Chains A and B, each alone.
Chain A
Amino acid sequence: MKRHLISAADLTRDDALLVLDTAEEMARVADRPIKKLPTLRGRTVVNLFFEDSTRTRISFEAAAKRLSADVINFSAKGSSVSKGESLKDTALTLEAMGADAVVIRHPSSGAPHRLAASGWINASVVNAGDGTHEHPTQALLDAFTLRRHLSGPGRDLNGRRITVVGDVLHSRVARSNVLLLTTLGAEVTLVAPPTLLPIGVERWPCQVSYDLDAVLAKSDAVMMLRVQRERMNAAFFPTEREYARRYGLDGLRMAALPEHAIVMHPGPMNRGMEITAEVADSPRCTAVEQVANGVSTRMAVLYLLLGGSEPAVAPAAATAATRTEESK
């Protein structure tokens, strides 16, 4: 693995499988009476959040604490950033405090890359969502959830058909998922109104469709994206009702899915918009499970980046050996 996790494209197939297999073991820690491991004792993880977040921040915090790391939470509100401090000066402050990893969320696409590539800090940088660019740990936890339901431990997602529906234009989750799920062998189809697809989407390694009903029957999983009204400064669709009717997932559409298919949502959900309450509360919707899987996946990422003298190596032979061992 590289020293930083900025993009899902940083992960090779073997890296991704190593993270998922490690997360599988981390998940078992959650079932024990003592949900803590001593592995990152004495390491400091800074959660640097320039944008609001509930589940990602507490998920990273829980992950770091379960590995016994010291956690410093930093949010732009109530910090010197509101006095005009630059990203560079904030980074230098964190460096002076001895941060071993910086988990950063930022409204500007590319801020984590800047932090990692600038030479301001020695810490590993983990992208926890930057603007409309990427959110690689979300893609990892989605892949973990998909694998649990569709293929099983040690396997990739070869040939599985994943449909990602909704506001792709503003979604960092969609981009990271397309990259990672494709790396793992899945076939991804994006479904959205033309106004909510980014420029250049035809060069992404996926299919694009404007018709949700046409792809549902062929989907092993459907991932609903939140309509990000806070990022919408123009009219992207006529009315919310029209959007919900054409691109929302309701009980009828869910019934058109194959029996084994699951419904995913990265949260937070707009009930009645992209997903109806009936679907959100059905046992086929994995939204809550995804949150639990997020902690295990982030534990795996932190362990593999910080747990040793350098980031973990994932030789092809090693992952292959693990898999044959399990198939015996």
Chain B
Amino acid sequence: MVENHSSTAGPTGAAQAQAAAADLPAPARPVLEAPDIARVLTRIAHEIVERAKGADDVVLLGIPTRGVFLARRLADKLTGITGRPTQVGSLDITMYRDDLRLHPPRALARTEIPGDGVDGRLVVLVDDVLFSGRTIRAALDALGDIGRPRAVQLAVLVDRGHRELPIRADYVGKNLPTSLRETVKVLLAEEDGRDSVLLGQKESRNDSRQDAHGGPGADARSDAPAR
């Protein structure tokens, strides 16, 4: 099952991205492959250690589904760099979404906060694709009910633009200018059998999302604004 980060609505439509979309082939095209993803995560891990001056109090919280796997991979890399075990967990944002009333209720994913909690620590939220920013807004609300971190940062594998809220990422794997008619799919070995980031075209011109009823395994969450 594939999480399909596509959008139908957004305040901005980047003209150059629209133009770029015209030359894209119809089938999804890989923009990052497994070695690229590994390199990108290594770089982000080093950036986290650098900015946190050692990453002593870092807690990585992945946003289900794929953010959790990315958070675990980042934690392994941080542990490799610092030589100390890294706190890692997951944060389900389903109950904090702002579009709950637009769809049938979704199945919930697991929220797993590491033993010491988040109070006074540096929480790094980890997600696969940053799009409208609404998922991160929900994650900040969810985090506020769990504790009071010293600071919150955001790491994403892909930033595809089209923000609808004043939110930006602290660590970005790849900036990917897209049009709203394109889809960004992140595949990870833990869930999909292989690592890849695919850029494709939306299949239908109507505004309903083909994956909106793909089941909770497929879309336990998404950054898309109008699903």
Q: Is A313 an interface residue (CB 8 A)?
A: yes
Q: Is B105 an interface residue (CB 8 A)?
A: yes
Residue from B105, B145, B216 in contact with A322 in the complex, judged by beta carbons closer than 8 Å? B216
Within 8 A of A (CB), among B99-153: 100-111, 141, 145-147
Q: Is the CB of B108 within 8 A of A22?
A: yes
The smallest beta-carbon distance between A19 and chain B, in angstroms, is: 10
- How many residues does chain A have at the interface if contact means C-beta atoms less than 8 Å apart? 30
Q: Is B190 an interface residue (CB 8 A)?
A: yes
Q: Is B1 an interface residue (CB 8 A)?
A: yes
Q: Is B217 an interface residue (CB 8 A)?
A: yes
The CA-CA distance from A28 to B110 in the complex, in Å, is 9
Q: Is A303 an interface residue (CB 8 A)?
A: yes
Report chain B residues within 8 Å CB of A21: 107-108
Within 8 A of B (CB), among A96-136: none
Report chain A residues within 8 Å CB of B218: 321
Q: Is A38 an interface residue (CB 8 A)?
A: yes
Within 8 A of A (CB), among B184-227: 190-191, 213, 215-218
Interface of B is mostly: loop
Q: Is A310 an interface residue (CB 8 A)?
A: yes
Report chain A residues within 8 Å CB of B92: 25
B residues engaging A (CB < 8 A)? 1, 65, 92, 95-96, 100-111, 141, 145-147, 190-191, 213, 215-218
Q: Would you give 15 A-B contacts (Cβ < 8 Å), ordered by A?
A: A25-B92, A36-B145, A39-B95, A307-B100, A308-B100, A308-B104, A308-B106, A311-B105, A315-B215, A317-B215, A318-B216, A321-B215, A321-B217, A322-B217, A325-B65
A residues engaging B (CB < 8 A)? 18, 21-22, 25-26, 28, 32-34, 36-39, 303-304, 307-313, 315, 317-319, 321-322, 325, 328
Report chain A residues within 8 Å CB of B191: 325
Residue from A308, A319, A328 in contact with B105 in the complex, judged by beta carbons closer than 8 Å? A308
Q: Is the CB of A318 within 8 A of B107?
A: yes
Q: Is the CB of B103 within 8 A of A309?
A: yes
Q: Is the CB of A307 within 8 A of B105?
A: yes
Of B96, B105, B216, the most chain A CB neighbours within 10 A belong to B105
The CA-CA distance from A322 to B216 in the complex, in Å, is 8
The CA-CA distance from A11 to B87 in the complex, in Å, is 40
Closest 9 pairs (CB-CB, A-B): A321-B217, A318-B215, A307-B105, A25-B108, A308-B105, A312-B105, A34-B145, A308-B104, A39-B95
